[in-house]
Amino acid sequence: MANRLKLSAKYYDLDDYLFRCATARFAKQNTLNAFDFYAIVTWKSNRSTSKVKDGLKKANLTPRTLMAKVSACASDRDRMMELDKVTGIGVPIASAILTVCYPKRFTILDYRAWGALLLLHFKKTKKDKPMPNNIDDYFSIYLPACQVMAKKHKMTLRELDKAMWGLSKHNSIIKLTKRLRNQRL
């Protein structure tokens, strides 16, 4: 039991586990096992796990068969389309799965990253520009803007992901502390 407990510590930092272990396994096997697939879904959106599971069941797919189909796709757009066909996945979760599998070619789309990108890259446009919610917008707006930002700041897409998430989290904590200060709590 003690050995199992020590081995389980690698899941404490799920981000590290996914990009160290799951990424390497996908590169060797061109698919994901169920554990790694659901680890990504849980990491990205824990509340969506049941919807994704139900979507796979409805499509008569397992995580392994789905991801084998994804890896066999001719293009990155086709990969995302294959994932998006499964009810419950959608572009944000698909972007997380693909980022773990292809970290040099994809980046994660979520409200935190989008907000940070608006702040940093789209400074001169309306700040409340809606988050891209379809594959065309991901590939025509979001991913190219992230690639420009990453290059400008000499970062990988994964480093940019972390930085944008961190900036958003930092800003939300700053807003919280200002509100609390104003309420004198």
Using 50, 70 and 90 to split pLDDT, how confident is the model at 179? confident
Are 39 and 93 part of one and the same domain?
Answer: yes
Examine the pLDDT at 101 and tell me if it is beyond 60. yes
- Domain end, chosen from 106, 135, 169, is at 106
Q: What is the DSSP letter of 183?
A: T
Per residue in 9-57, pLDDT (tens digit) is 888 889 999 999 999 999 999 999 999 999 999 999 999 999 999 999 9
Contact 30, 79 (CB under 8 A): no
Domain span at residue 81 reads 1-106
Are 184 and 119 part of one and the same domain?
Answer: yes
Contact 129, 181 (CB under 8 A): no
Are 49 and 63 part of one and the same domain?
Answer: yes
Spatial CA neighbour of 167 closest among 108, 125, 119 = 119
CA-to-CA separations, 63 to 29, 69, 70, 78, in angstroms, rounded? 13, 10, 10, 17
Are 92 and 115 part of one and the same domain?
Answer: no
In the three-class reduction of DSSP (H, G, I as helix; E, B as strand; rest coil), residue 155 is classed as coil
The mean pLDDT value of the chain amounts to 91
Are 74 and 158 part of one and the same domain?
Answer: no
Per residue in 143-169, pLDDT (tens digit) is 999 999 999 999 999 999 999 999 999
Are 93 and 171 part of one and the same domain?
Answer: no
- Cα–Cα distance for residue pair 132/148, rounded to 1 Å: 17
- Domain end, chosen from 78, 106, 134, is at 106
pLDDT at 44 (0 to 100): 94
Count of domains for the chain = 2
Contact 102, 21 (CB under 8 A): no
pLDDT at 9 (0 to 100): 80
Are 97 and 119 part of one and the same domain?
Answer: no
User: What's phi and psi for 40, nearest 5 deg?
Assistant: -65, -45
Are 42 and 115 part of one and the same domain?
Answer: no
Using 50, 70 and 90 to split pLDDT, how confident is the model at 180? confident
